[in-house]
Amino acid sequence: MPRENRKRGKKHRKSAVEQEEQPFEGARYEETDAENQAGPSWIVPLPQVAESNSEAPFGYVEVDVKAYFRTVDLQLREWQEQKNATEADVSGDIDPNEERRMFFVAALTEMTGKEKQLATDPDCSNILERMSHSMDDFVRRVFVDSMMGSYEQLVRHRFASHVCQTLFMVASSTISRETRGIFPAISGSDDQGELRSLTDLTLEICEELLPSFTSLIMDPFASHVLRALLLLLSPSSLPQSSGTRQNNLRSKKSAFWKTKYIGAMKSVFGEDKQEAHSKSVPERFGSMAVKFVEVLKNELGVNEVRALAADKVASPVLQMLLEIESTHDMANQPDSLMDRVLAGLISAYHDSQNSNVEPSDYVNTLFRDPTSSHLLETVVSRLSDPVFGSLWTIYIRPKLGRLVNHPIANFVIARAIERTDEEQLVECCSDLAGDGALSRTVKSARLGVLKAMVDRSKSIRARGKEVTEAVCTAFELRSPEDKNMIVPCVLYMLPLKEYQSSVSNAADADQQSKTKSYKKGGYKTEAADLPKSEEQAKESKIQGALLLQSMLQLPVPHHELVLDSLRSLPIDELIALAHHPISSRVLDVVLDSPEISPTVKRKFVMSLIGSFHVLVDDRIGSRVADKCWAVADPFLKDKLARSLIPQERLLAASYYGKFFWRNLRLPLLQRKPEEWKVLQAGKPQGVAAGAYIQSKIREAKNPGASDAGKRKRDMQVEDDIDALFQRTLGKRVKRGAFLDADSQPSRKVATDDGSLRDILKAVQLAPKDDKHKHRKKRTK
């Protein structure tokens, strides 16, 4: 800058950052001057063009189109919240579904030619997901075909990847119908090309993604699309009841966001057939799923496959590939994906079954890693029995005591115990009981291993004694008197000594809270607050309740340990367990378990007689009482119902007990015990109960009589109020019934002998005023 143009004032000193940037700016200006660009030297081209293209690679959606699809989204949300199409308030004679189809066709017409732009838009991509649930088979084929050739770019996109994932999820129903030969009618012209089936389109999409599969598996946006595609290709790899199916498709964070901001997605036409025949896929899909496994195995080395196991993005996809590999009998081969994950354990077994294999540090880290432990659970459940024996001997049993108490590895050990045989289960019980590892599992509140041991003993129906002894050892129950406390100790997840001390401390604190009081500001206040540790001792734990439920399903006599403990509990504690939403499940298993004899169930119900009015006066306890009533035989029901007659008013006034009181039908039991017994034996419902009782009584009186000539009035249900007045005041006489000689009531006169003299006498005694009243009513 020339000296004459300088201004007065304090000189500005440049910071260190600006001094570092100054040479770069000078070099930039020198470069632009050297290139002799037009215009001033300080004009620089914008470098943000590439970033905008990455966000919208197919162009931006126009403002008017986006506003229109927002109205479409609002209308679809309103229809999806309704239960069915008939609940819509539609004026005129137009069918609700027909109006929705017209609206939907208009939206599809506006979407034609803009599918890729809408899929990459942050707002319209959610609308396309919602619309895909309401598309029929033909529209889905058109929509998938419109984006052919661009799926590799779409699955990498932040918003379009979710559209592709939803398409693959809803395509299962369409592909299932195509597999069974059900195709929609297509009305096309000669100038249009042939529309391929969704099965062929899916296979072509797979061929498009195969060359870049190894890079897509590491992409954070494409990974979840690949999971949905693999599930579509091989649905039998993941069972419907497996929790892995949902975990692999969408993370907890993504599922929460979708539920909160997008809401439920279903068809607006009331047709929910997406899950029907979801496993009916063509044989070509299985071959294509095997191709993905082979591509990953051929293009990646051993160390690269092992690196995928610990990656948060790629590990779920690798887990599904291991499931597919095991389903097609490819896992038990040398150099398979499962062999690479296990550091060559399968290859070593095939080379020499008796050779000593050194444990790998990599496999040991899989037990303790939060991400790879899920993959190892799949490996443990899918291994063949001989290779699992090697895994148990080399990696699990030497470190069993430490692994069962690890916060992550204990889940893998629980899954491994589900695969053990009788000998391995005995080894597990003896090893854990010897070094005190079971006691540490209780203190660390990790009962998954104990439950897995009990479940395995139940499935193989062996070693029940060793398993129950292991549970008693974990909770420090040694003597027979101590074992009677197994239900509260396991339910509260406390060893015996800690449970007894917590109960005694709670009792002392309760006694002090009743006696201790103080005054503040003229008001008398009681200190009834207990410490948190004492409050926790009274709270049932879910893991403890699940362990008790598993123990009750053991064969005889191993479940007697829990039953004896329940019998030893006072009736107040037993009622408290029945009122709790967690511990009441234990009592449900007592009444539902097939391993428990009906005699034991009858004794359990008998122990509750006298306290049923307290049991049913609760939301949870009333359900336990219903189970007791369903299990009881007719004689026990009679005894139970008669014990509740003094508490009838209390039951009728209870908010929850009144439902149980209606099932008892105590008024009928007091008036007609035989009919009540017949009713409880047959269990008819509603108005048919009266007719059922009458028919059973007639059959008992006349065994050979047929019901062909019954009159309709014989089948009428007798009202309880009429029966009561009939017993006290006699049969009622309807005076107005004698006015019309042709009417039906005039023939049915309430006399004993039915003579004509009584009929005339009754007519003469009828008052005349009543006749005039009846005539006036008729004229009106």
pLDDT tier at 604 (50, 70, 90 boundaries)? very high
- Percent of the chain whose predicted confidence (pLDDT) is above 70: 69
Angle between helices 584-592 and 542-552 (to 10 degrees): 10
| pLDDT, position 249 | 65
| pLDDT, position 269 | 80
Check whether 419 has a pLDDT greater than 70: yes
**Beta strand pairing status for 523-526 and 517-520?**
antiparallel
**Which backbone phi and psi does 624 adopt, to 5 degrees?**
-65, -40
Q: DSSP states of 661-701 as a string?
A: HHHHTHHHHHH-HHHHHHHHHH---TTHHHHHHHHHHHHHH
Check whether 532 has a pLDDT greater than 60: no
Q: Which of 238, 240, 206 is nearest to 225 (CA)?
A: 206
Q: What is the C-alpha radius of gyration for the chain, rounded to an integer number of angstroms?
A: 39
| pLDDT, position 236 | 82
Q: Buried b vs exposed e over 309-333: b needs ≥16 C-beta within 10 Å?
A: bbbebbbbbbbbbbbbbbbeebbbe
Largest CA distance in the chain: 145
Burial class (CB in 10 A: 0-12, 13-18, 19+), 536: middle
In whole angstroms, give the CA distance from residue 348 to residue 346: 5
Check whether 248 has a pLDDT greater than 80: no
Check whether 93 has a pLDDT greater than 70: no
Q: Which of 592, 651, 657 is nearest to 620 (CA)?
A: 657
Residue 322 CB contacts under 8 Å (≥ 6 apart), including other chains: 331, 337, 338, 341, 375, 378, 379, 382
In whole angstroms, give the CA distance from residue 513 to residue 349: 67
Collapsing DSSP to helix, strand or coil, 733 comes out as coil
Cross-strand pairs, 517: 526
Cβ neighbours, 10 Å, residue 213: 17
Mean pLDDT score, 560-566? 94
Q: Which of 266, 280, 47, 287 is nearest to 179 (CA)?
A: 280
Residue 7 CB contacts under 8 Å (≥ 6 apart), including other chains: none
Please, where in the chain does CATH 1.25.10.10 lie?
Answer: 535-659
The two three-digit tokens of residue 572, written as one number: 């107040």
Residue 733 CB contacts under 8 Å (≥ 6 apart), including other chains: 750, 762
Taking only the tens place, the pLDDT of each residue in 653-680 is: 999 999 999 888 899 999 988 888 888 8
| pLDDT, position 743 | 41
Say if residue 2 is preceded by a cis peptide, omega within 30 of 0.
no
Q: DSSP states of 398-433 as a string?
A: GGHHHHTTSTTHHHHHHHHHTT--HHHHHHHHHHHH
Taking only the tens place, the pLDDT of each residue in 725-775 is: 555 555 554 444 444 444 444 444 344 444 445 544 444 444 444 444 444
Q: How far is CA 724 from the centre of its chain?
A: 51
The two three-digit tokens of residue 261, written as one number: 């901001």
| pLDDT, position 677 | 87
| pLDDT, position 40 | 52
The two three-digit tokens of residue 726, written as one number: 């009939």
In whole angstroms, give the CA distance from residue 595 to residue 459: 13
| pLDDT, position 680 | 82
Taking only the tens place, the pLDDT of each residue in 509-531 is: 766 666 554 444 443 444 344 44
Using alpha carbons only, what angle is made at residue 660 by residues 659 and 666, rounded to the nearest 5 degrees?
Answer: 110
In whole angstroms, give the CA distance from residue 388 to residue 418: 11
Instruction: Name the range with the highest mean pLDDT among 93-107, 281-295, 428-442.
Output: 281-295
| pLDDT, position 181 | 87
In whole angstroms, give the CA distance from residue 454 to residue 467: 6
In whole angstroms, give the CA distance from residue 230 to residue 288: 9
Mean pLDDT score, 414-421? 94
In whole angstroms, give the CA distance from residue 577 to residue 510: 20
Q: Which of 547, 392, 591 is nearest to 457 (CA)?
A: 547
pLDDT tier at 91 (50, 70, 90 boundaries)? very low
Cβ neighbours, 10 Å, residue 476: 17
Residue 240 CB contacts under 8 Å (≥ 6 apart), including other chains: none
Q: Which residue has the higher pLDDT, 279 or 773?
A: 279
CATH number 1.25.10.10 given to 535-659:
yes
Cβ neighbours, 10 Å, residue 96: 19
Q: Which of 14-28, 352-366, 610-624, 692-706 has the lowest mean pLDDT?
A: 14-28
Taking only the tens place, the pLDDT of each residue in 327-343 is: 999 999 999 999 999 99
The CA distances from residue 359 to 302, 345, 356, 372, 378, in Å, are: 17, 9, 9, 17, 20
Q: Which residue has the higher pLDDT, 353 or 621?
A: 621
Q: Which of 80-84, 424-428, 471-475 has the lowest mean pLDDT?
A: 80-84
| pLDDT, position 94 | 52
**Which backbone phi and psi does 671 adopt, to 5 degrees?**
-85, -45
Say if CB 546 and CB 586 are below 8 A apart.
no
| pLDDT, position 513 | 65
Collapsing DSSP to helix, strand or coil, 525 comes out as strand
| pLDDT, position 414 | 95
| pLDDT, position 516 | 54
| pLDDT, position 706 | 46
Collapsing DSSP to helix, strand or coil, 526 comes out as strand
Taking only the tens place, the pLDDT of each residue in 449-480 is: 999 999 999 999 999 999 999 999 999 998 98
Check whether 534 has a pLDDT greater than 80: no
Mean pLDDT score, 615-631? 94
Mean pLDDT for the chain overall: 78
| pLDDT, position 702 | 63
Residue 636 CB contacts under 8 Å (≥ 6 apart), including other chains: 602, 605, 606
Check whether 205 has a pLDDT greater than 60: yes
Q: Which of 249-263, 433-447, 603-617, 756-770 has the lowest mean pLDDT?
A: 756-770
Helix (H) or strand (E) holding 534, with range, is helix 532-537
Residue 543 CB contacts under 8 Å (≥ 6 apart), including other chains: 445, 447, 448, 451, 493
| pLDDT, position 762 | 45
The two three-digit tokens of residue 224, written as one number: 């979840």
